[in-house]
Structure 1
Amino acid sequence: MARHRKTLSQNFLHNTAVLRGIVRAAELTPADLVLEPGAGEGTVTRALAREVREVIAYEIDPGLAAALPRRLAREGNVRVVPGDFLRARPPRRPFAVVGNIPYSRTTDIVRWCLAAPALTSATLVTQREYARKRTGDFGSWPLLTVSSWPEFDWRLGPRVARHHFTPVPRTDSALLRLVRRPAPLLPHRELAAYRALVAEGFTGIGGSLGATLRRTRRADRVRAALAAAGIDPDATVGRITPPQWLRVHRALRREG
């Protein structure tokens, strides 16, 4: 089992204050349905079960999954699902995802959450560097964050020190919050065009966003759109904030 945990990058939490902090950060209500990826030994599961209506706990490790019903016997609102969370079909009714997830599967779990139509929020314990990169804390913004920005707010939560985990990982962790916006920042009919623009920009052809966009658009239109968004003509794509991307999209659409 220890070897399997290492392969999956599973590090378990037992500190009561940290567990309460995770649940508090998730901003749950007593009526909520919560899915938990990687339930492990059930410590986060138990904390969630005491705050919400129903928890569906997924655990891929057969030994851990088999032990969870006994560990959670006092909680009457937990359903344990042995198997891979990434193969789960998202509920059709509103739900949240909360979990201390295996680090090696972070990106796949984040993508699963973003693709789930009824997801309201995801609160995930990830490596701190991952959370900082995805929320712009290093002053740059990756493709996944920018492309999903009209629909999701990416938030960097509190640090979780490495000594709170067993086994102790090499780096500290942090809470990453993905919160679906009440209404997208763009009309639904424009979302596909916005994502296509972002994908084009992130190809990096030409070394700057301006150079990339000028390959398929008139130079004066690109120059005006960048100016409207307050972007330096030679700015590299990673340094452009999500709000600036939205302004570029609107300016190009308006002039087109």
Structure 2
Amino acid sequence: MPAAGPEPASRPARRTERDRSRRVLSQNFLADPGALRRVVKAARLGPDDLILEVGAGRGDLTRALAAGCRRLIAYEIDQVLAERLAAACADLDHVECRAEDFLAAVPPAEPFAVVGNIPWALTARVVDWCLAAPRLTSATLLVQWEYARKRTGDFGRWSRLTVLTWPIVHWRLSGRVPRTAFRPVPGVDAGILRLDRRAVPLLPARQLPAYHRLVTTGFTGTGGSLHATLRRHHPRGRLDAAFRAVRLEHDTPVGSVWPEQWLALHRLLA
């Protein structure tokens, strides 16, 4: 009897069109009921609110959000999921399901909020859309944990985008959601990122261009520290006095400067 040969190597499971679509669209569905409730709580909905949901998927978060708002427009670009979403919300008269790309949507002319378990590959574009929408009141977004920490100063460092927009937008980290709350399970945890447009900006509109120039210059990194960078653009004595006033050392890296310190520097140097 001939000796048994080696076991044939198992073939990898063949990816279906749906598998490829989920990978391209970064589809990780929030499956944990407790996590859904945390997102809804973080959104702080009011009964008169208009909500736009990004990446509504199968409608689990959609139905939870719909219970607390006046009107909800749910966007889902995946046509298969959009059909499931429409079926899941068929009994909700105040919910409109759109099989469209949220990023191509025209922002409403009335005040509105954005909520969503967004595709992580599109995080920067979704955030930019929200920041550019003049009537947006808030955005509550499930994003990668590292991104949420980076944008809210949780690493002890502040990003250029956060500092630039701080006079008109408050960035807040509203919680952590473990990766096991999603299906399929992603490689990292998620963070609940909350953006709130300030009812009263911290600077008048006429001062924003000068503030933006200061921040943009400071983040160029020429000189090795914020003081060394700004010294190229401001008199040494005046700059030293401003740094003493806001309690900044001359060797402080630009990312370690708090948004409130940037605002104070603007007022002292403008």
Could you say whether these structures have the same fold, taking a TM-score greater than 0.5 normalized by the shorter chain as the test? yes
**Residues of 2 paired with 1:16 and 1:76: CA distance?**
23
Show the counterpart of 1:30: 47
Give the partner amino acid of 1:38: G
Q: For 1:77-125, what per-residue CA distance to the aligned partner results, in whole angstroms no more than 9, with x for missing partners? A: 1111212111111111100000000111111111111111101100001
Show the counterpart of 2:259: 242
Residue of structure 2 aligned with 1:141, choices 139, 144, 158: 158
Show the counterpart of 1:21: 38
Show the counterpart of 1:44: 61
- What is the RMSD of the two structures over their aligned residues, measured on CA atoms? 1.0
**Residues of 2 paired with 1:92 and 1:24: CA distance?**
25
The alignment partner of 1:51 has SS state of coil
Give the partner amino acid of 1:183: V
**Residues of 2 paired with 1:84 and 1:66: CA distance?**
15
Show the counterpart of 1:53: 70
- Provide TM-score, normalisation by structure 1: 0.96
User: Is residue 2:229 matched to residue 1:216?
Assistant: no
Show the counterpart of 2:3: none
The alignment partner of 2:252 has SS state of coil
- Unpaired runs of 5+ residues, structure 2, are 1-17
Residue of structure 1 aligned with 2:187, choices 155, 163, 170: 170
Q: For 1:161-208, what per-residue CA distance to the aligned partner results, in whole angstroms no more than 9, with x for missing partners? A: 111100000111110000111201111111121111101111111111
Show the counterpart of 2:200: 183
- Unpaired runs of 5+ residues, structure 1, are none
Aligned pairs for 1:86-165 (under 5 A) are 86-165=103-182
| More deviation, 16-25/120-129 | 16-25
Show the counterpart of 1:73: 90
- Rg larger for: 2
**Residues of 2 paired with 1:249 and 1:64: CA distance?**
48
Show the counterpart of 2:243: 226
Identity across matched positions, percent: 55
User: Is residue 2:213 matched to residue 1:196?
Assistant: yes
**Residues of 1 paired with 2:93 and 2:175: CA distance?**
30
Give the partner amino acid of 1:96: A
Give the partner amino acid of 1:247: A
**Residues of 1 paired with 2:68 and 2:31: CA distance?**
18
- Provide TM-score, normalisation by structure 2: 0.91
| More deviation, 225-234/240-249 | 225-234
| More deviation, 99-108/17-26 | 17-26
**Residues of 2 paired with 1:62 and 1:195: CA distance?**
41
Give the partner amino acid of 1:148: T
Question: Which consecutive segments of 4 or more residues in structure 1 shift more than 2 A?
Answer: none
| More deviation, 14-23/123-132 | 14-23
**Residues of 2 paired with 1:49 and 1:71: CA distance?**
12
The alignment partner of 1:117 has SS state of coil
Give the partner amino acid of 2:190: S
